[in-house]
Structure 1
Amino acid sequence: MIRLPLLYIYNALSSALFYRGIFIIYLLDNGLDMTQVGVLQSLLFWTMVVVEVPSGYFADRYGRKKSLMASSILLILSAVGMLFSDQFYFFALVFILEALALSFNSGAGEALLFSFLKENGQEDEYLKHRSRISAISSVAMGLAIGLGGWLQKINFELVYIATIICVSISFFAIWAFQYESGGVIEEREKQESISIIKVLSNGGLTLNIFMLMIGLIIVEASMTMIFIYGQFVLPTKGISTEYIALTYSILQFLAAGVYLSSNFLTNRFGFRPVVITSLLLTSIIYVCFIESTGLLAVTLFLMLIMVPEIICLPLEDYFQKFLPEEKRATLLSFKSMLTSLITTLNYLVFGWMFTMYSVDTTLYTAFTYLFIAILFVLVVIYIEKRSTTYVHV
């Protein structure tokens, strides 16, 4: 399919955010303090919570391609804003623009790819292409972060200029992608007022799939919390700051290989065996990580973050097959919104526990919470009668 490379180009270049690893330093250099930085991050998060579902509804009603084009424009505007902002309130506006950009992208890209493949009779190719796109995007982001650190030594503004150039090219890539999905709601019910609440309440999901979605959200939110708080936990295991930074850099590149291997493993061993093995391995690695120190702790931390990623895309592929076409992006955005909310609750609860209790006590509590969610997911997968067939590549 000639058009698919354009989606690859779009995802790679829209992921080339050169500022991702150093934007806080840029804000501090412009006179902000860490309290203000924290407020900006909170503003970004809450803006995404508010607009996640409406942006998904926009993609379903007016087109996923239009949603991705809007995302690129908003991301360019936010990068331009960073170049010219020098006051807290201007930076706040920039962060709102970036939150809007991320929300218009969330769910729309996956929905567009799945719809395109489904229309061409290649629905079972979704996992293959999604894993490749994710791998390329991870490498692009990793390279951009590394180059951003080098560019800021010359001039910090070059970091944002490079981002603007890459995202601008990504805009033209998705504009040239001659396919549109979405707009189904508008065509089908153009004489009727459609509310987002109606879309969600009549989403067409079975109870089992809805429960699976909730279980996966809890697992994903838990692992996101561990990923972020690893910066606090690793020093307690004797790891210095420079090696912690190196660990997080390695994770970005490992993700590319994991995304590619997930497609192979699922084709080779089957969906359910891979999911069950990965989730159980995650539980074992988690306990070993709590009890480890030094280099072993770093190795186990890398494994702890990467092993669940093996099933991320196969589960997304499994979930996609149950979504009604006309509401696909809306429901994916709704899932993202719930993930963000639960992740924030995890940050608050376990952040408080790290302050009040020992690191090991907090980690074991978090493990218990995660393990219950894992068992819940495994049970739902087994009772779900619909089977998913994967084609060998």
Structure 2
Amino acid sequence: MIFRFSAYGFLKNLRLFEAFLILALRERGLDFLAIGSLIAVREITVNVFEVPSGSLADALGRKRCMVASMACYIVAYLVLGLAGSFGLLAGAMVFYGIGDAFRTGTHKALIYAWLRSQGRANERTKVYGYTRSWSKMGSAVSALLAGLLVFFSGSYTSIFLWSAAPAALNLVNLATYPSWLDDHGRNKGRGLKHSAKMLGEAIGFTTRQPAMRRLVADSMIFEGSYAVIKDYLQPVIQSAAITLPIMFGLKDQQRTAVMIGVVYALLYLLASVAARRAHQWEDRCGGTEPGIRGLYVVTIVALVGMGASLAAGWAWPAIGLFIVLGVAQNLWRPIHVGRFDLYSPEHHAATTLSIESQAKSVATAVMAPLIGWAIDRLSHHATPAPVWALWPVAVCAAPMLVRLLFVTMPSLREPEEPEQAATPH
């Protein structure tokens, strides 16, 4: 099943538009506030559907929810490619958000259920890091393919439409997961009433446990900030590509397509390596919590350096620090998700991880429009935006610094593994 799990991640991340999302929306005349608002629409939709989707997955079937997620993605990608108004783009983001809500947490719960059934629960960081590394390989391939499509077509529209094809393949992949895996760790046939009960139990468990509350806060601070920051690499690369003293025979959009394809491919390849070696970082730092603290330090330093570079108009140092942030986030994610699995009952696994993702979405929905508004004010809506006007993305270092200096995570002791169930046939 590890191959199937990895194939899911690889296909999911063949979102050809991802490395060009901000530039594609800018091409349609949207300013950064409007783009931030679209991101907020997506994240608010995730917030509304996230926890109910996790409860439905635990009660009705995780595989069914994953198939529904891919179907929503297909609709979203097609509408993003064909829409000509803000309203339709917002509608596409609603489908995008529903797809995210039915996916996040649910597939991780499937992986962890399989690990328990195989007696390999103590390999959670290693196995999730491995499958995540294939997700990042998919992102690297996606960036290169998207760069080629933009280079030869001269438009961003087609990359949205092409993204529907791998989503359809992934729908087939998920629909053919073994039935016993879908049923493992959940109670069948309880319906929506049972789903609501499980939701209440999971929320109560999360809010009562100090360690769980702090894990959720970590997701809001670290994951929510990165979700806002990461896409602003695109206008930085655009500015750098236009001024690059090579490729003089190419149009600005073609030069941008080449540079984005190369830089994002490098970023995702390094992210893939980082995700696969997250368990090594954890071991070398002396455990889970020291590893998390170390990543906070790396990220804060990178954000401060990036903010200074952007304010000075230095695109290339900023690009390098964006890459550092991407690597740190992919070391962080497998370790952090493993923390949740340690302290969540198996029958609430998808719901608890959905609460975590919902918390991240709240932070992203708040920060994205604010940062977009600040950049618009500084840049006076110039296209392309000057590099120095992008420095507000670095303010995300502030809550991280507060968390690092003033909030101490209690020592997390891994509970004894429950007696493993026999492997279903």
> TM-score, structure 2 length as denominator?
0.75
C-alpha distance in 2 between matches for 1:44 and 1:188:
30
In the alignment, structure 1 residue 180 sits paired with structure 2 residue 182: yes
Q: CA deviation at 1:89?
A: 4.9
In the alignment, structure 1 residue 386 sits paired with structure 2 residue 413: yes
* Amino acid in structure 2 at the alignment position of 1:96: V
Q: CA deviation at 1:304?
A: 3.8
1:215–1:376: 8 Å Cα contact kept in structure 2? no
1:250-329 → structure 2 map (5 Å cutoff): 250-271=266-287, 272-292=289-309, 294=314, 295-329=316-350
C-alpha distance in 2 between matches for 1:123 and 1:172:
27
1:219-238 → structure 2 map (5 Å cutoff): 219-229=222-232
Query: How many equivalent residue pairs?
Result: 383
1:106-117 → structure 2 map (5 Å cutoff): 106-117=104-115
Gaps of 5+ in 1: none
Query: For structure 1, which segment, 194-203 or 41-50, has the greater mean C-alpha deviation from structure 2 after superposition?
Result: 194-203
In the alignment, structure 1 residue 211 sits paired with structure 2 residue 214: yes
C-alpha distance in 2 between matches for 1:289 and 1:83:
32
C-alpha distance in 1 between matches for 2:305 and 2:36:
32
1:75–1:98: 8 Å Cα contact kept in structure 2? yes
Deviation digits for residues 204-224 of structure 1, max 9, x if unmatched?
662222223213421222333
C-alpha distance in 2 between matches for 1:34 and 1:314:
37
C-alpha distance in 2 between matches for 1:26 and 1:289:
24
Please point out which of 99, 102, 105 is paired with 2:103.
Answer: 105
Give the corresponding residue for 2:358: 337
Q: CA deviation at 1:113?
A: 0.5
C-alpha distance in 1 between matches for 2:241 and 2:86:
37
Gaps of 5+ in 2: 245-255, 379-387, 418-425
Secondary structure of 2:343's match? coil
Give the corresponding residue for 1:76: 74
Give the corresponding residue for 2:131: 133
Give the corresponding residue for 1:372: 402
Q: CA deviation at 1:234?
A: 8.6
Q: CA deviation at 1:107?
A: 1.0
1:14-29 → structure 2 map (5 Å cutoff): 14-22=12-20
C-alpha distance in 2 between matches for 1:156 and 1:282:
31
Give the corresponding residue for 1:43: 41
Secondary structure of 1:311's match? helix
Q: CA deviation at 1:68?
A: 0.8
Shift of the 375–308 alpha-carbon distance from structure 1 to 2, 3 Å rule, reads farther
C-alpha distance in 1 between matches for 2:234 and 2:24:
20
* Amino acid in structure 1 at the alignment position of 2:286: G
Root-mean-square deviation (CA), in Å?
3.9
Secondary structure of 2:182's match? coil
* Amino acid in structure 2 at the alignment position of 1:180: D
Give the corresponding residue for 1:34: 30
C-alpha distance in 1 between matches for 2:319 and 2:228:
17
1:71–1:101: 8 Å Cα contact kept in structure 2? yes
Q: CA deviation at 1:117?
A: 0.7
C-alpha distance in 2 between matches for 1:82 and 1:364:
29
Shift of the 42–208 alpha-carbon distance from structure 1 to 2, 3 Å rule, reads closer
Q: CA deviation at 1:59?
A: 0.9
1:28–1:34: 8 Å Cα contact kept in structure 2? yes
> TM-score, structure 1 length as denominator?
0.80
Deviation digits for residues 197-253 of structure 1, max 9, x if unmatched?
623443366222222321342122233344345567899999959598464553233
Secondary structure of 2:141's match? helix
* Amino acid in structure 2 at the alignment position of 1:174: L
Secondary structure of 1:177's match? coil
Shift of the 279–58 alpha-carbon distance from structure 1 to 2, 3 Å rule, reads same
Deviation digits for residues 110-143 of structure 1, max 9, x if unmatched?
1111111112211112212211111111121221
C-alpha distance in 2 between matches for 1:244 and 1:388:
47
C-alpha distance in 1 between matches for 2:395 and 2:38:
30
1:10–1:173: 8 Å Cα contact kept in structure 2? yes
Give the corresponding residue for 2:252: none
Give the corresponding residue for 1:118: 116
Shift of the 110–276 alpha-carbon distance from structure 1 to 2, 3 Å rule, reads same
2:46–2:100: 8 Å Cα contact kept in structure 1? yes
Secondary structure of 2:18's match? coil
Deviation digits for residues 22-72 of structure 1, max 9, x if unmatched?
45666677xx53167666444333222211122112111111111111111
C-alpha distance in 2 between matches for 1:187 and 1:374:
44
Give the corresponding residue for 2:167: 167
Q: CA deviation at 1:183?
A: 7.5
C-alpha distance in 2 between matches for 1:169 and 1:296:
38
C-alpha distance in 1 between matches for 2:66 and 2:30:
32
1:54–1:196: 8 Å Cα contact kept in structure 2? no
Deviation digits for residues 60-92 of structure 1, max 9, x if unmatched?
111111111111122223334456655655544
